[in-house]
Amino acid sequence: MSERCISKESLETTGFSYTLSLINGKYKMTILYTLMEFGVVRFNEMKKYIGEISYKTLSSSLKELESDRLVLRKEYPQIPPKVEYSLTERGKSLIPILDSMCEWGDKNRL
């Protein structure tokens, strides 16, 4: 078996890079964690739970996660508007990774 040579490879072609492109961003992992923990969450509930995130950042992050088919947005035709967010099946496939991160944090917290 030959050794891999870094000069002949590119990070952009790896699964790691693709995964990172979907979850990269200051709050995307936090949003995914929130939906993993609570299932179906309304926008204002998520804003309150996360705390320091702005409405604009939460909205744009949710739109990107929805566009990447990780988050499902369900809008109800009522006044006032009601919108709920949850993980798609694709988003749920990230749960083992999120769980591992939680376990690592619990074991290594100082």
Q: What is the pLDDT of residue 36?
A: 94
Cα 86 from Cα 88, distance rounded (Å): 7
Give me the pLDDT at residue 1, please.
61
Of 91, 83, 81, 90, nearest in space to 31 by CA? 91
State the pTM of this model. Answer: 0.86
Q: Write down the pLDDT at residue 105.
A: 93
Q: Which residues of the chain have pLDDT under 50?
A: none
For the beta carbon of residue 22, count every other beta carbon within 10 angstroms: 18
Question: pLDDT value at position 93?
Answer: 95
